[in-house]
Chain A
Amino acid sequence: MDTTNITNGIGKSQERREDFRFLTGAGSYIDDMNLDGQAYATVLRSPEAHADVSSIDITEALALDGVLAIITGEDWKVAGYNPIPTKSAVRKAIDGSDLKEPPHHPLAIDRVRYVGQPVALVVAESIDVCKDAMELIDVDYDSLPSVSHQSEAIKDGAPQIWDIAPNNICLDFELGDQKAQKKAFSEADHIVTLNLVNNRVTAVPIEPRGALASYDAGTGKYTLWNASQNIHAGRDTIADAVLGIGKENLHHIAPDVGGGFGVKNGVYPEPILILHATKLLERPVKWFNDRSESFLSDTHGRDQVSTVQLALDKDGTFRGLRTETVGNLGAFCATVGPFTPTGGSSRTQGGPYRFDAIYYTAIAPFTNTCPLDPYRGAGRPEGSYQMDRIIDYAAAQLGMDPIELRRKNLIPTEDLPMKSPMGLDIDCGNFPEVFEQTIAMSDRDGYDARVQKSAAAGKKRGFGISMYLECTGGGPKEEAKVSFREDGKIDLSVGSSSTGMGHETAFAQILAGHLGLEIDDVVFRQADTEATAIGGGHGGSRGLEVGGSAVLQTSREIVEAGKKIAAHKFDVDADKVEFSEGHFHVPGSNHTMTMREAIDAQNDPDMLPDDMEPGALNISSVFERGIISIPNGGHAVEVEVDPETGTIKVDGYWVMDDFGTIINPMLADGQVMGGVAQGLGQALMENIVYDDGGQLVTGSLMDYAMPRADDMPRMVIGYYEDAPTAKNLLGVKGAGEAGCVGAPPAIVNAVCDALKDFGVHHIDMPLTPERVWRAIEDAKAS
């Protein structure tokens, strides 16, 4: 991989340029935006989990002063729009048949299938009028039996949610070599089995979802500002696939977005509904969810029930791995939906450990709950959790040391590059070294003394470790467009989407660093269908890998073009010109020209060679990633458990990550720490709960516990940079999701270690104090 000229600016903890406006309250988030004459929209949501809608009476509501329009499922049916398609990359069941994709319309037509499903859109002069109107809408629901839990949904006799999906199964899936796995199992000395739950969670970005739509009757064009992370693909789906208005007629833009974590990637009903409304009323229409609606309608994450089996020899060598998962799609296939428990959860099975064979199967069922879609990690946290939990569980069952077991089985560097049994292209890495460095960071020498200190206070201390293998994803292509303004500023437009990750800074760092220009001169634009022709948005930790590479590629093309201008000035052949430290020069001569001078020259025909047009340095380039990169690393955790109450304090946290080249260490740290917090939240306190009647029990922050400052340990983070990848121009491996992939198993491992004297070897997440207490009591009793 050619890393020439990328050293400037790389590796510097550059302070963020976007911070000034965020710190002074000058950010422009969707609810901060208002257009003259705008109307407000709210969504009437189903209170039933599964019911026929026998009638909707909007007469009284429509008559209310200030109500402008009410759109129901009947209206939507008449309008004849297409349903929202799923973009799942996995589309076939094991027998080769297509996945069962029920029609997903933005409004319920005739039947509701989850609590929170949109039933009507109300548009009025104010939110208060909308709310008054919603109370006057009379919906007649005929309740049907419903099913909330995936294991119940696939049983014979369960309520059927979709006629096209018998046993409520959307598709089933397999990956790996079953024959080889069975052989490995038959030859192994031990087979250890563990049933695991990966609990259902929700992203809770502090900014709920919202959008603002306007329509220009003169041009027939729509504009949609949307707190979304997937602007270009979203535009295509909404404009072409669903509304049929033509994608050239929809300008889709993301303003500042207050966090996403994947949950703002998908195509949701509400922005589509307000586009319809804005055309109907010829007034801008604004919608903004409140937090309760977020809990009901933001796609949920994870929610898998699995059986994992590890086959190993008596000397600890891993032979085979078998994982069976029942996922959960909710009531519809969401935008990525079926991919998460199938392709998404299978790719990294086995982690960084050596296996003869792995076989993975999954079922993706529908339930009468909110649809599920990727949430930070999107299948890899599930895989990592299965792998690192069963290692510790097996160690406990067989009287082996979990650290030694890992040492013995981590893929040695000399085996790389290799294809994993799941077909994952692991190009580079040094798992054994990263593992040792993780352990070395965690002060094992002082551990025994800390154990004594905890014991003296009546507490149990435990240590846990995980070695995660990540893989990136998201759209493989990205466009970066640069143009140089007369005022000296540099317009940089990228089609990716940052919702706090700092692209505005990191991408500017790459561009300015490579060209030898001032980072403060870069004016950044992202997530706007009129700024770049294509855009891969956000997802799969692709920001630097694909977006950053696109910026670097464009920068290099600018340099190549600049060399021609310099060569023209120097009157030499272009291949004699070199570029470094912001200067074009010819070695062995005193010809020199700065990048700035080349930029100033680019619009003057006299300064350009014959084959160059003015503006030749204003370049747009598309980078396409070949294959995904493989971030990896170790998490080490110490916990202190109070056996009397079951309370867990996470008391030590160390991470060693291999993210390849680190562009901005400060930003990388931020991603890891945020990810660890989400992983800790899932492991210890977060849980989306539906009751048996399909009612969302955890519908607000009163019931959904989120980590606060006093829940978090101090985290120590290190980077292993000796294995940069050749798969992209920067050598980076996507960092954004790794934190929440490695955290849950390491934390649960630590707790089980703390409680091993009680005979507790597994507790399902979230490890609430009560669950811990009960596990101890149950173990004492048996």
Chain B
Amino acid sequence: MYEFDIITPNSIDAAKSEFDAAEDGQFLAGGQTLIPVLKQRLAMPSDLIDLEHVHGLSGISASGDTISIKAMTRHTEVAADHEVQAAIPALSKLANGIGDMHVRNRGTIGGSIANNDPAADYPAAVLALHATIVTDRREILADHFFTGMFETALEEGELITEIHFPIPEAASYMKFANPATRYALVGVMVAKSHNNVRVAITGAGPCVFRDAEMEQALMGNFSPESIKDGMIPADDLNTDIHASREYRAHLISVMVRRAVAEAVG
């Protein structure tokens, strides 16, 4: 890979100022996406700003109706956390299905969300659970966070510090994995809170999205039968050698039904 310098700040303020000072800086979280990218010579940052030693950027806490996960928390930690397992088992299941065990030991929730890979799992959870993304300078609601393929509402140098997940009444994550990468070809999270239902779909399109028709139908009757074929048009979905857009559209219906069935029973 190309050469670069490394900076290892101990605080968020230091991380921010190092980023601003760098010619072309990039934050390094778990590295499970960034390092393979650098190996392919697809990026050429001048400096990597390592977030590993920034104080207070890792950990999980529960308070009342919210689970809060700090940005540098590893997927393994989220999967194994008792509070997450008790309050939002779907989130625990999702984290446990990311990549493989070795990736999970290094990958972080903050890194995943900031990157917004169209096939990543966490964006579906953040969107479906109506999470709030806390950064070094503001709070961003999930609905405003994911803006396009590999694009988010984050400003240049803005650092995610924590994600607040409201605890739902019921939720389920169903993933149909790409057999080669084990990323989501279609990953669906359904979450029900009070009478509100949110359905978030990752993997199928250029960016994670919600579907209003499915949500409406489920708010009327929270059961698999509410999901009819053809609710999602195939036109805007991804198509590649692993799955055509028509097949993804079909899979979404199937996965949502299964997620609802799991959430219910």
Contacts and interface: CB of A to CB of B under 8 A. Distances in A.
A704 B254 contact: no
A572 to B, nearest CB: 68
Contacts of A131: 41
Nearest to B253: A644
B181 A702 contact: yes
Contacts of B93: none
A701 B254 contact: no
A87 interface: no
Contact of A705 (B180, B251, B254): B180
Interface stretch (B74-82, B134-142, B213-221, B241-249): B241-249
Contact of A644 (B180, B243, B254): B254
B250 interface: yes
B180 A645 contact: no
B241 A689 contact: yes
Contacts of B179: 685, 705, 768
A644 B254 CA distance: 7
A706 B254 contact: no
Interface in B172-201: 176, 178-181
Contacts of A773: 247, 250
Contact of B241 (A644, A701, A703): A703
A703 B180 contact: yes
B241 A645 contact: no
Contact of B247 (A687, A703, A706, A770): A770
Interface in B221-247: 241-244, 247
Contacts of B181: 701-703
A33 interface: no
B180 A704 contact: yes
A703 B183 CA distance: 11
Interface size range of chain A in the complex: 10 to 19
Nearest to B258: A644
Interface string A679-707: 00000010101000000011001111110
A72 B233 CA distance: 52
Q: For this complex, into which size category does the number of interface residues on chain B fall?
A: 10 to 19
B230 to A, nearest CB: 13
A698 B251 contact: no
Contacts of A705: 178-180
Contacts of A698: 241
A408 interface: no
Contacts of B41: 131
B238 to A, nearest CB: 13
Contacts of A685: 179-180
B244 A645 contact: no
Q: Is the interface of B mostly helix, strand, loop or mixed?
A: loop
A680 to B, nearest CB: 12
Contacts of B180: 685, 701-706
Contacts of A556: none
Nearest to B244: A770
Interface string A55-80: 00000000000000000000000000
A774 interface: yes
B1 to A, nearest CB: 8
A473 B188 CA distance: 51
Nearest to A702: B181
Interface in A343-386: none
Interface string A560-604: 000000000000000000000000000000000000000000000
Contacts of B242: 703, 768, 770
Given A645-B176, A702-B181, A703-B180, A770 B254 contact: no
A645 B247 CA distance: 9
B104 to A, nearest CB: 16
A773 B246 CA distance: 11
Contact of B251 (A645, A697, A702, A703): A645
A774 B251 CA distance: 12
Contacts of B178: 705
A235 to B, nearest CB: 35
B241 A697 contact: yes
Interface string B152-185: 0000000000000000000000001011110000
B262 to A, nearest CB: 14
A266 to B, nearest CB: 26
B17 to A, nearest CB: 31
Interface string A641-655: 000110000000000
A702 B176 CA distance: 16
Nearest to A701: B180
Contacts of A702: 180-181
Nearest to B250: A773
B44 to A, nearest CB: 11
Contacts of A770: 242-244, 247
Interface string B73-104: 00000000000000000000000000000000
A460 to B, nearest CB: 15
Interface in A207-243: none
Interface string A18-39: 0000000000000000000000
A703 B178 CA distance: 9
A703 B179 CA distance: 9
Contacts of B254: 644-645
Nearest to B180: A705
Contacts of B241: 687, 689, 697-698, 703
Contacts of A645: 176, 251, 254
Contacts of B176: 645, 769
B4 to A, nearest CB: 13
A698 B242 CA distance: 10
A687 B240 CA distance: 13
B187 to A, nearest CB: 14
Nearest to B247: A770
Interface string A692-728: 0000011001111110000000000000000000000
Nearest to A707: B179
A104 B182 CA distance: 39
A706 B179 CA distance: 8
Interface string B121-137: 00000000000000000
Contacts of A703: 180-181, 241-242
Interface string A756-774: 0000000000001110011
B256 to A, nearest CB: 12
B98 to A, nearest CB: 15
Most A CB within 10 A of own CB, among B176, B242, B254: B242
A698 B240 CA distance: 11
Nearest to A131: B41
A769 B251 CA distance: 10
Contacts of B250: 773
A723 to B, nearest CB: 39
A701 B243 CA distance: 16
A685 B182 CA distance: 13
A242 B243 CA distance: 45
A464 B247 CA distance: 27
Nearest to A706: B180
A701 B176 CA distance: 18
Nearest to A292: B40
Nearest to A697: B241
B136 to A, nearest CB: 33
Contacts of A644: 254
A644 B186 CA distance: 14
Contacts of A689: 241
Given A702-B181, A770-B244, 4 more contacts: A131-B41, A697-B241, A768-B242, A769-B176
29 contacts: A131-B41, A644-B254, A645-B176, A645-B254, A685-B179, A685-B180, A687-B241, A689-B241, A697-B241, A701-B181, A702-B180, A702-B181, A703-B180, A703-B241, A703-B242, A704-B180, A705-B178, A705-B179, A705-B180, A706-B180, A768-B242, A769-B176, A769-B247, A770-B242, A770-B243, A770-B244, A773-B247, A773-B250, A774-B247
Interface of A: 131, 644-645, 685, 687, 689, 697-698, 701-706, 768-770, 773-774
Sorted nearest first, the 6 A-B pairs with minimum C-beta distance are: A705-B179, A705-B180, A770-B247, A644-B254, A685-B179, A702-B181
